[in-house]
A and B are shown apart, each in its own frame.
Chain A
């Protein structure tokens, strides 16, 4: 019987040799030997034919001791393997000696299929502003900005869901025409995208997304916290806040890298419903469910992020749609945009220019609305002073947005990062208008993420 116990000792020694990193493996080896023990013992029984109860008792005690030792080893190892919560569902287990790649790949799947767990990850953004301006009729006000619930879900290795659900106060302002009442809140699904990621060279997204016109629109979405300034440049203002661009598109977008070495070329190709063009103009400007015509809007963007200049992005985009306002001829809409931005940790310089071109059918006249902005900022510790100049010039007879006109002027301010998730901004804007007195405005905003 001593022979059997010695076997156990040898196994224990082997387990020790295997090291504390592999207790489960050691336990399995131990278990295998222990299971074979009855056979070894049976041989002895044949020899002696008298059961030795005392030895059996010793053996059982030894098993208990060994099991306790395995538990102790596992307990010692467990705290070391504790990980912080992660967005990547993956199972942690000790490396089994014979486990292959296929088995490894399956480790992430069970959590996705576990209906008792949610796959949603949520992040919130919000802002509150106190502002006033010199325009007649305007009052100094505290304003609740957008409450943005940003939700993502890692559906599978290739598919991801992303959405922005935004609560914001009215009224809406569509090309100067107001819609809705003051101080009432509404809910918008600003983005709802299912992304398929085949490789770095091809990604496909379907749903409602920000149109890849220029840089700002896809770099900054519905959160002021990310932005240096208190708001978007006028050129990239949202459709329901007086903006002139089709900021949102419902459709499909393909994007990816273009093999180009150190040049870092990227492409974006989009097709979607485009903006609403029928009267009344105060209808929802984004065609979320029904397109008002069969023609689709197209957009193609190319940009480069060269390795040689870290943080530099230069690119251009071309957008085309056909608008069909009621009781007037169809209008071809083309938008050409170019940008050059340099963004580093403590410095940013954004430059974008675009032209919106409307060409009504049956007339030789073409309406060009040019616009640009430049923005520069520099970080000093928690402070980031910034300056922006913006310009847009629409004809008074522009067929789609006649109320925009000419507006241009500087903005300057300072952003103070009170913590990693809270930013306080103070901004002054001066906007010169065509045939109207200029408007000075001041805003103090606190933007945050939670």
Chain B
């Protein structure tokens, strides 16, 4: 037992030291966006124009954005398009649809791919233009865009029977910060 107690003390000291050092130098974890305000825009969920889906429930949308649904009803594989970490649009999707923070979302997909339950990780794109082009080119793609970034190359999906122009729509994104 003395040997074990000594070992316990050494290990505990080591863990405490590592933890203390890491805490001191740890960067602030990713935070969710600021609370909504009146100047916010709505965030539209968009799919390829050939996709017959026009409405999804929030629950279905969540399953799609977490990779728990991998195929559209027409058999086409779902390809999820996400914007890069740090973009307000992505933060809204993580908060309001996935209900996860950045770390949990990444771990969720890593674990899902590891178990084989998730077929592919999300495609990450830098800009709304990139998202729009990708969704135009990939029939099974789904992503999100500010209403001001929409054009006719993508199709907007209603959520719980509400479109981005409707009252009571749930996805709002803060205005872009001026460059």
Chain A interface residues toward B at CB < 8 A:
21, 77, 80-84, 86-88, 90-95, 101, 104-105, 107-108, 123, 130, 132-134, 140, 150, 152, 154, 157-158, 160, 162, 193, 195, 197-200, 205, 209, 218-219, 221, 223, 226, 262, 307, 310, 345, 382-383, 414, 416, 418-420, 424, 426, 428, 440, 442, 444, 449
| B22 in the interface (beta carbon within 8 A) | yes
Contacts of A140 in B (CB 8 A): 3, 7
Task: Kindly supply a per-residue 1/0 record for chain B positions 101-144, scoring 1 wherever the CB is within 8 Å of any chain A CB and 0 otherwise.
Answer: 10110110011011110011101111101100110111110000
Find out whether the CB atom of A86 lies under 8 angstroms from the CB atom of B71. no
Pick from A223, A420, A428 the residue with the most CB of B within 10 Å.
Answer: A420
* Segment from B12-20, B39-47, B166-174 that makes contact with A: B12-20
Q: A152-B113, A218-B115 are in contact. Are A86 and B137 (CB under 8 A)?
A: no
Find out whether the CB atom of B71 lies under 8 angstroms from the CB atom of A21. no
Complex formed: what's the CA distance from A221 to B112 in Å? 11
Q: B51: shortest Cβ distance to chain A, in Å?
A: 10
| B155 in the interface (beta carbon within 8 A) | no
Find out whether the CB atom of B138 lies under 8 angstroms from the CB atom of A80. no
Q: A226-B114, A420-B103 are in contact. Are A442 and B7 (CB under 8 A)?
A: yes
Contacts of B11 in A (CB 8 A): 130, 426, 442, 444
Find out whether the CB atom of B138 lies under 8 angstroms from the CB atom of A108. yes
Q: A111: shortest Cβ distance to chain B, in Å?
A: 12
Find out whether the CB atom of A92 lies under 8 angstroms from the CB atom of B137. yes
Find out whether the CB atom of B130 lies under 8 angstroms from the CB atom of A150. no
Known: A101-B48, A440-B4. 16 other contacts (CB 8 A): A80-B129, A81-B129, A92-B133, A93-B133, A94-B133, A95-B137, A104-B50, A105-B139, A132-B7, A158-B77, A195-B116, A197-B70, A226-B111, A416-B22, A418-B22, A444-B11
Identity of the chain B residue whose Cβ is nearest the Cβ of A133 in the assembled complex: B4
Find out whether the CB atom of B84 lies under 8 angstroms from the CB atom of A84. yes
Q: B118: shortest Cβ distance to chain A, in Å?
A: 10
Pick from B113, B114, B127 the residue with the most CB of A within 10 Å.
Answer: B114
Complex formed: what's the CA distance from A80 to B120 in Å? 24
Complex formed: what's the CA distance from A21 to B133 in Å? 10
- Among the listed A83, A133, A444, which residue makes an inter-chain contact with B14, where contact means beta carbons less than 8 Å apart? A444
| B36 in the interface (beta carbon within 8 A) | no
| Interface residues contributed by chain B, number (CB under 8 Å) | 57
Find out whether the CB atom of A83 lies under 8 angstroms from the CB atom of B123. yes
The 10 closest A-B pairs by CB, nearest first: A101-B50, A444-B11, A86-B123, A83-B125, A345-B104, A84-B124, A95-B136, A80-B129, A88-B123, A199-B71
Find out whether the CB atom of B126 lies under 8 angstroms from the CB atom of A83. yes
Find out whether the CB atom of B119 lies under 8 angstroms from the CB atom of A160. yes
Find out whether the CB atom of A83 lies under 8 angstroms from the CB atom of B138. no
Q: B7: shortest Cβ distance to chain A, in Å?
A: 5
Find out whether the CB atom of B70 lies under 8 angstroms from the CB atom of A200. yes
- Among the listed B76, B101, B113, B130, which residue makes an inter-chain contact with A82, where contact means beta carbons less than 8 Å apart? B130
Find out whether the CB atom of A428 lies under 8 angstroms from the CB atom of B8. yes
Find out whether the CB atom of A221 lies under 8 angstroms from the CB atom of B133. no
Contacts of B8 in A (CB 8 A): 428, 442
Which residues from 57 to 114 on chain B have a C-beta closer than 8 Å to any C-beta of chain A?
A: 59, 69-71, 75-77, 79, 84, 99-101, 103-104, 106-107, 110-111, 113-114
Contacts of B99 in A (CB 8 A): 310
Contacts of B138 in A (CB 8 A): 88, 90, 104, 107-108
Identity of the chain B residue whose Cβ is nearest the Cβ of A209 in the assembled complex: B116
Q: A88-B120, A92-B137 are in contact. Are A199 and B7 (CB under 8 A)?
A: no
Q: A140-B7, A199-B71, A449-B110 are in contact. Are A92 and B134 (CB under 8 A)?
A: yes
- Among the listed B15, B48, B50, B139, which residue makes an inter-chain contact with A416, where contact means beta carbons less than 8 Å apart? B15
Complex formed: what's the CA distance from A90 to B162 in Å? 31
Contacts of B139 in A (CB 8 A): 101, 104-105
Complex formed: what's the CA distance from A449 to B120 in Å? 18
Contacts of A107 in B (CB 8 A): 137-138
Find out whether the CB atom of A382 lies under 8 angstroms from the CB atom of B23. yes
Complex formed: what's the CA distance from A25 to B100 in Å? 41
Pick from A154, A157, A195, A205 the residue with the most CB of B within 10 Å.
Answer: A157
Q: A73: shortest Cβ distance to chain B, in Å?
A: 13
Find out whether the CB atom of B119 lies under 8 angstroms from the CB atom of A104. no
Complex formed: what's the CA distance from A440 to B5 in Å? 11
Find out whether the CB atom of B120 lies under 8 angstroms from the CB atom of A221. no
Contacts of B106 in A (CB 8 A): 420
Contacts of B125 in A (CB 8 A): 83-84
